[in-house]
Amino acid sequence: MPAGGYTSKRRVMERYKIIGFISSGTYGRVYKAQGKNGIVGEFAIKKFKPDKEGEPQYTGLSQSAIREMALCTELSHLNVVSTREIILEDKCIFIVFEYAEHDLLQIIHHHTTPQRHCIPAPTIRSILWQLLNGLLYLHRNWVMHRDLKPANIMVTSAGSVKIGDLGLARLFFKPLQSLYMGDKVVVTIWYRAPELLLGSRHYTPAIDMWAVGCIFAELLSLRPIFKGEEAKMDAKKQVPFQRNQMLKIAEVLGVPNVKQWPLLSSMPEYSQLSTLSAGGNSRVHRPIGLENWYNGVLKQNGYPPVEKSPTGEKKAAENPGPEGLDLLKALLTYDPQQRITAEQALQHKYFTTGEKPSMNCFEGITTKYPSRRVSQEDNDIRTGSLPGTKRSGLPDDSLRPTKRLKEG
């Protein structure tokens, strides 16, 4: 290489002032920062840690870091978190993102404390509209997110929804990671599409649409709709059939069958399905059905009944209405080939009936959502890489699964 080795032409500390620490994950840590020396605005800087802590050494960048870097420089859309720059310095990668004050996890949480109060229907509609616009852009560009969940959907203080955490969806298991994650880690599967649970090796954009359905349901009910428990990998590192998660889905939607989903029988874990209803699980035999679930949630969370004006038109958009149910059904369709696409979803009557959805999801509401928590304990971006520290954001966050599935 050029004699003298690699030296960065740009230095993080010369360009940004670190305000504090936001969160950490398997990849590294995220800091809130303010631009300096002519750079204006607030940013979230994601630092990818080198594989080995302690004495940093060049060991080759991880697949996920490469993926995120490559995608972030390439993509640009209003509803996808934008990247200001990428700095390679001191054997670390720093991706500088635009800053977003909120995320959907935090917004949902705000509506459950101190007591449960529903997210206004127009807010949900705007969030979904923007999310689907971002997703359509990704899918048109052949990008599958693969890890959509409330914590990965950012919302700016101006009510703009941004898909975040690109390229991290497929994370390769590295033995070293278990050392970092000293304490027990729960792996989220709540947003995982049925075809993946049944062992499909083929990813299609439809897996993201399933996740959107789960997020839609969660925005309405303020709880994950399919809150299953992860089955751990066995000693041979084989990924087991996620029986409990599949059960949670079947309790609402029923056990999938070949009539609804013709290719079902070719799924690797197909034979497991028949065992779901064994043991006399009556909820699987008599699933509540999405419609009952939906109507129950709307009632329980206090959405006002749909009022019809004398002309038969819906009066106010205070209730997601039958259109919302119809879209939810289309998103949570078992057969990935029949599941609605992002493009079709944007043309769904849930969006086309009534006013055009706002690009500001906070429009017309007075709720003030709390700012993102930023911790001062560790705001030295150069050295801050102590293992095991969790996100400082939410008090109940440790209960929330954050880790992703390893690539099969």
Active site residues: 147
What is the spatial distance between Cα 177 and Cα 215, in angstroms, rounded to a whole number?
A: 28
Residues 6+ apart with CB under 8 A from 238: none
CA within 13 Å, CB half, 339: 22
Q: How far is the CB of 6 from other proteins (least distance, A)?
A: 5
Q: How far is the CB of 28 from other proteins (least distance, A)?
A: 16
Please count the other Cβ atoms lying within 10 Å of the Cβ belonging to residue 342. Answer: 21
Please count the other Cβ atoms lying within 10 Å of the Cβ belonging to residue 345. Answer: 25
Tabulate helix, strand, coil % of the chain (nearest 5): 35, 15, 55
- Per CB under 8 A, residues contacting other proteins are 1-3, 5-6, 8-9, 57-61, 63, 66-67, 69-76, 86, 88, 91, 140-143, 172
Q: 323 is written with which tokens?
A: 């259109």
Structural contact between residues 60 and 73, judged by C-beta atoms closer than 8 angstroms? no
Q: Given the complex with other proteins, which of 172 and 367 has the nearer CB atom?
A: 172
Q: Given the complex with other proteins, which of 8 and 257 has the nearer CB atom?
A: 8
What is the spatial distance between Cα 319 and Cα 394, in angstroms, rounded to a whole number?
A: 29
Structural contact between residues 383 and 150, judged by C-beta atoms closer than 8 angstroms? no
Helix (H) or strand (E) holding 32: strand 28-35
Q: Given the complex with other proteins, which of 169 and 252 has the nearer CB atom?
A: 169
Q: 213 is written with which tokens?
A: 């359905």
Give helix 321-331 / helix 289-300 axis angle, nearest 10°.
130
Q: How far is the CB of 73 from other proteins (least distance, A)?
A: 5
Q: Given the complex with other proteins, which of 172 and 347 has the nearer CB atom?
A: 172
Sign of CA dihedral 70, 72, 76, 80: positive
Q: Given the complex with other proteins, which of 3 and 399 has the nearer CB atom?
A: 3
Q: How far is CA 37 from the centre of its chain?
A: 34
Residue with tokens 């390893």: 406
Alpha-carbon torsion, ordered 211, 124, 227, 163, to 10 deg: 40
Q: How far is the CB of 372 from other proteins (least distance, A)?
A: 26
Q: Given the complex with other proteins, which of 90 and 318 has the nearer CB atom?
A: 90
Q: Given the complex with other proteins, which of 143 and 328 has the nearer CB atom?
A: 143
Helix (H) or strand (E) holding 42: strand 42-48
Q: How far is the CB of 1 from other proteins (least distance, A)?
A: 5
Cα distances (Å, whole numbers) of residue 48 to 93, 220, 340 = 5, 34, 35
Q: How far is the CB of 151 from other proteins (least distance, A)?
A: 23
Q: How far is the CB of 200 from other proteins (least distance, A)?
A: 17
